[in-house]
Structures are given as structure tokens and as C-alpha cells.
């Protein structure tokens, strides 16, 4: 009976491993798409800052209204994207906890890998939650000063756009690390 139980556990682990490897390529494609999206988002924010500076320098109300409208749309899109990524990260964290429990049957190395994977998934959730909170706080502050053209309000608005750019740069760097890490793990599987 012990042989049958061992064979069953081994079969389950191998099946799970094969499934994980099968989804690895899809996961890499998804993360590369996220990397492209993050690059595009960063470029849009940088262009928005240039447009903001131009509108401020020219004291053009029409251009400033266009910048504010674009900023509102971009921020809304970013928050929706963060919500989707947070949901994905929660799903991965749940899967990581499950995998960590299953990995205990594979011995100490598998258990360590499973725990590390689960810890990374939890860290991703925390980072995405923080990014979403930051975006929501920026959105609230932008709502408070929307339409104001005093130098202090414009300066504050510019600083908020800079904060969004820094946040986008951090997201881009994280996406790069994720793709690099996946490429490294794909090399191990071969």
C-alpha cells in the first residue's frame, strides 16, 4: 500500500510540474505584454508632463484643460489596470499557498521552493496594493485642484504627475525583473 501511495503522490507532483511548465510560456508572454504596457504607460505620462509644461508656459487654458482631461483618463485607466493586476496577484498568492502545501510532499528542497514562491506572491500583492493606494491618493489630490490655475496648484499638479511617473518607472522595473526571473526559471526547466 505504501508503494501505491508513493506512486500516487509522485504522479500528482509530476502532473502539477508538467502543468506549470506548460503554462510557463503563456506566463512569460503575459509578462512581456505587461512589460510593453508599462513602457507605453511611462511614455504616455512623460508626454503628458511635456504637454503640461507647455500649457503652463504658454498660459493656454485650452491646452491645460486637454492635459487635465488626458490625465484623468490615464489615471482612471491605470487604476483599472492596477485592480486587474491585484486580482491576478491575489490568485497567484492563493495558488502559491496551495503549491507550498503540495511541495511539502516533495521533500525539503521542494518545500523551500514552494515557500519562497508563496512569499514572492504575497510580496507582489502587497506591492500592487500599495501602488493602487498611491494612485487613488493622487487621484483624490488631483480632483481637489482640478481647474485651479494658481502657481501653487499648478506646481502641486506637476509634482503629482511626477509621482505618477516614478510609480510607472517602479512598475516597469518590476516587470523587467519578473520577465528576467521567468527567463532564468525557463532555462532551469529545459
> Average of pLDDT values for 139-158?
95
Q: Is residue 129 exposed (0-12), middle (13-18) or buried (19+ Cβ within 10 Å)? A: middle
> Would you say 54 and 63 are in contact if contact means Cβ atoms under 8 Å apart?
yes
Q: Which domain holds residue 144?
A: 2-189
| pLDDT band (50, 70, 90) for residue 90 | confident
pLDDT at 24: 46
> Would you say 86 and 129 are in contact if contact means Cβ atoms under 8 Å apart?
yes
> Average of pLDDT values for 91-96?
82
Q: How many domains does the chain have?
A: 1
Tell me which of 18-22, 78-82, 89-93, 122-126 is least confident: 18-22
> Average of pLDDT values for 108-116?
59
> Would you say 95 and 27 are in contact if contact means Cβ atoms under 8 Å apart?
no
Give the residue with greater pLDDT, 111 vs 79.
Answer: 79
Dihedral sign (CA 130, 135, 139, 145)? positive
Instruction: Count how many Cα atoms sit within 13 Å of the Cα of residue 64 in the half-sphere of its side chain.
Output: 18
114: pLDDT strictly greater than 90: no
Tell me which of 58-62, 69-73, 97-101, 128-132 is least confident: 97-101
> Would you say 13 and 114 are in contact if contact means Cβ atoms under 8 Å apart?
no
* pLDDT tens-digit map of 31-45: 788 889 999 999 999
> Average of pLDDT values for 71-97?
89
Tell me which of 14-18, 45-49, 123-127, 153-157 is least confident: 14-18
Amino acid at each position: 500500500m505504501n508503494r501505491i501511495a508513493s506512486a500516487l503522490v509522485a504522479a500528482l507532483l509530476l502532473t502539477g510540474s508538467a502543468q506549470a511548465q506548460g503554462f510557463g510560456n503563456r506566463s512569460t508572454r503575459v509578462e512581456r505584454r505587461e512589460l510593453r504596457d508599462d513602457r507605453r504607460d511611462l511614455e504616455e505620462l512623460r508626454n503628458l508632463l511635456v504637454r503640461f509644461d507647455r500649457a503652463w508656459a504658454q498660459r493656454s487654458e485650452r491646452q491645460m484643460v486637454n492635459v487635465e482631461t488626458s490625465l484623468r483618463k490615464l489615471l482612471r485607466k491605470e487604476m483599472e489596470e492596477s485592480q486587474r493586476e491585484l486580482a491576478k496577484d491575489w490568485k497567484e498568492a492563493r495558488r502559491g499557498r496551495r503549491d507550498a502545501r503540495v511541495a511539502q510532499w516533495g521533500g525539503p528542497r521542494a518545500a523551500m521552493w514552494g515557500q519562497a514562491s508563496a512569499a514572492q506572491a504575497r510580496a507582489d500583492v502587497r506591492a500592487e496594493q500599495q501602488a493602487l493606494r498611491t494612485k487613488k491618493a493622487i487621484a483624490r489630490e488631483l480632483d481637489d485642484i482640478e481647474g485651479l490655475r494658481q502657481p501653487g496648484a499648478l506646481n502641486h499638479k506637476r509634482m503629482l504627475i511626477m509621482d505618477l511617473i516614478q510609480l510607472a518607472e517602479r512598475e516597469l522595473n518590476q516587470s523587467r525583473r519578473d520577465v528576467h526571473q521567468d527567463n532564468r526559471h525557463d532555462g532551469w526547466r529545459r
